[in-house]
Amino acid sequence: MAILLTCIGPGASGKDLALFERMQSGGFSFTATTGAKTKQDKDICLRESDSNDNAQMTEQVEIIYNRLNEVEKKKLKDYHCTIFEYFPKDIMEKYRHQTTTDSFRSLHCNAQLREADELPWPEPYAHWTALSHRGCQFYTLFLEFQRKVDDDIDTRPVLEAIDINLKEIEMVERQLQQIKEAKQYVIEFVDEMAQKDIGKKRRRIRKFAFQQWMEVVLGTVDALVNASNFFGGRK
């Protein structure tokens, strides 16, 4: 069926259809003459088609047309209903008034449409290129957001590094409290020892001063006794 539709496609002439019928009846494998062929194959096709007269060619085209109608209206409709629903109902109508010139004109228009679809692309590209130039507002905005992204990337490791476990903080706090208590104990101990030492030194100073005073008094008494001044020595 696919070969048959390819044969009668746009651009196929009556000679092509006649040649198809001849090769089908002769058991040959047919490929549409509108496809790519070698020069030798084209010469063979032309020689065989020239040997047929107009009456035989018309008869063979009618046979092909009847086969198409049979496939479309009977076999597909009766045995393949789903395919028949999607099969074009006017499979031959669009070929009756269409010539090779119309086919080439249609292909030419389609090619121009494809090229025209590609033309609008350079204008948006040029617009975006202009936005990327220095001094453009879009360029400045892009740099600003890029800096923000860079800042987020740079500060993330720092934030992760300072993420301390709460248990570790509590342990450090307890250690600081112990150090503070130990410091206070040392201060109190040193103060107590200093007070005791100062008291001892004071007592020693007083004893030494009293000793010196006694030595002076005794020296004076001795001097008075030696001078026979008993009255002054008694005082």
pLDDT in tens, 31-74: 444 444 455 555 555 555 555 566 777 777 777 777 776 666 66
Taking the C-alpha atoms of residue 84 and residue 70, their distance in angstroms, rounded to an integer, is 12
- As a whole number, mean pLDDT of residues 113-137 equals 64
Going by C-alpha positions, the residue among 70, 98, 73, 103 that lies closest to residue 87 is 73
Together in a domain, 31 and 16: yes
User: Is there a domain that residue 8 lies in?
Assistant: yes
The runs of H, that is alpha helices, within 26-136 are 39-50, 54-70, 76-79, 81-86, 93-96, 100-118, 122-131
Taking the C-alpha atoms of residue 221 and residue 208, their distance in angstroms, rounded to an integer, is 20
Together in a domain, 171 and 148: no
Taking the C-alpha atoms of residue 13 and residue 141, their distance in angstroms, rounded to an integer, is 64
Together in a domain, 222 and 138: no
Q: Which domain holds residue 218?
A: 166-234
Q: What is the pLDDT of residue 53?
A: 61
Q: What is the pLDDT of residue 170?
A: 84
Greatest alpha-carbon span in the chain? 194
Together in a domain, 54 and 70: yes
Together in a domain, 150 and 181: no
Q: Determine the 3-state secondary structure of 51 from DSSP.
A: coil
Question: Among 109, 140, 161, which residue terminates a domain?
Answer: 161
Q: Determine the 3-state secondary structure of 9 from DSSP.
A: coil
User: Is there a domain that residue 113 lies in?
Assistant: no
Together in a domain, 170 and 157: no
Q: Are 33 and 16 in contact (CB under 8 A)?
A: yes
Percentage of the residues of the chain whose pLDDT score is greater than 90: 0
Average pLDDT of every residue of the chain: 66
Joined together, the tokens standing for residue 198 give: 């100062």
User: Is there a domain that residue 74 lies in?
Assistant: yes
Sorted by sequence, the CB contacts under 8 Å of residue 158 that are 6+ apart come out as none
User: Is there a domain that residue 91 lies in?
Assistant: yes
Taking the C-alpha atoms of residue 25 and residue 44, their distance in angstroms, rounded to an integer, is 17
User: 154 vs 217, which has greater pLDDT?
Assistant: 217
User: Is there a domain that residue 53 lies in?
Assistant: yes
Whole-prediction pTM: 0.22
Count of domains forming the chain:
3
User: Is there a domain that residue 107 lies in?
Assistant: no
User: 3 vs 115, which has greater pLDDT?
Assistant: 115
Together in a domain, 58 and 38: yes
Together in a domain, 154 and 186: no
Q: Is the pLDDT of residue 181 over 70?
A: yes
Together in a domain, 21 and 60: yes
User: Is there a domain that residue 105 lies in?
Assistant: no
Together in a domain, 138 and 77: no
* Banded pLDDT at 1 (limits 50, 70, 90): very low
Q: What digits encode the pLDDT tens for the residues 82-103?
A: 666 666 665 555 555 555 556 6
User: Is there a domain that residue 106 lies in?
Assistant: no
Q: What digits encode the pLDDT tens for the residues 191-212?
A: 888 888 887 887 888 777 877 8
* DSSP classification of residue 21: H
Q: What is the pLDDT of residue 98?
A: 53
**DSSP, residue by residue, 140-199:** HHHHHHHHHHHHHHHHHHHHHHT---HHHHHHHHHHHHHHHHHHHHHHHHHHHHHHHHHH
Q: Is the pLDDT of residue 12 over 80?
A: no
Sign of CA dihedral 26, 30, 33, 36: negative
* Banded pLDDT at 123 (limits 50, 70, 90): low
Joined together, the tokens standing for residue 200 give: 């001892």
Together in a domain, 65 and 23: yes
Together in a domain, 52 and 126: no
